[in-house]
Chains A and B, each alone.
Chain A
Amino acid sequence: MATESSVRNSQLWAQDHPLPFGSKAPAFELLEPATGRKRRSTDLDRTDVLAVYFICNHCPHSLAWEDRLLAIARDFSDSVSSVFIDPSDPVRLLPDGGPAFPEDAPENVAAHAREKHFPAPYLVDPDQTVADDYAAVRTPHAFVFTRAAGLVYRGTVDDNEEDPSAVTTHYLRDALEDAAAGRSVRTPETPLQGCGIKRSADQYPGKRG
């Protein structure tokens, strides 16, 4: 009998099967609501370093870190190709028939990308197929790849989501600097703080056993 965590398209599966270090970036083709175009990962990967960020519009953790993530994507735009992916299911319904995540409807993702001047494509993954391929667990969840070494970083942004001025360790910036310089990433994995990525197939995604 399959256990809950052995089922793909489950948040617990993703937690229990992190993408191994050294893996190549899983390929994807996803809609960019701001342009109405499908974007392929192979077309976005124009530098030696690729950063894939799972974020969303409804999660306060993601929103608290968002300006910093956008600044990082801008600051590293010469050496790092960045892409943002919203893995929320915009048609997930609540018991009253209303949408669970109206903020993540494609038109709202497009509006958000325009309003915040996203420096890189903001794509949608409404059935979490790509989130599963990356074993993304929370928003935000950052993945950094290099052509030479594959996955070199997975984790969070920094060590203080509420107060940017109180950050003492810039995990993601450090990882990108190391990756862009061809060095080993000093801290390859950091603990996640964020909203669980609800899989469409999960009824009670937060409940274990």
Chain B
Amino acid sequence: MQEILKKYKTTKPEDVQVWFKAAHTSSFPKDGGACVKYKDLQIAVFNFDRLQKWYACQNLSPEKQEMVLSRGMIGDHNGIPKVACPLHKKTFSLENGENLNGDLEPIATYPVKIEDDFVYIGFSE
């Protein structure tokens, strides 16, 4: 596996050590995403307005290792919220990172919380 993929590890809510204050909620389009920088990580954050939920995952598409997922389109497949990579439309569950239309490695997902209209992303380190 590429070194760069190893930097991204799914973080469970119970493992969060740091809540990183990323940006104001208005920086993210409704039902769309944008990218947040945390240390040397790139995190895609999605404002899933139709579900009234927020999601975060690695910005790196595991297929070709390009930093593009935040620019992908979101939606759902059989009720599972997902993002489609803008390069080849590989889709990933925003709930658990699973590749829904292929057998790529799952992407790392991170907890998100909103406080006072600010978006916070949870990291374990």
Are both chains from one complex?
Answer: no
List A residues at the B interface (Cβ < 8 Å).
none
Residues of B within 8 A of A (CB): none
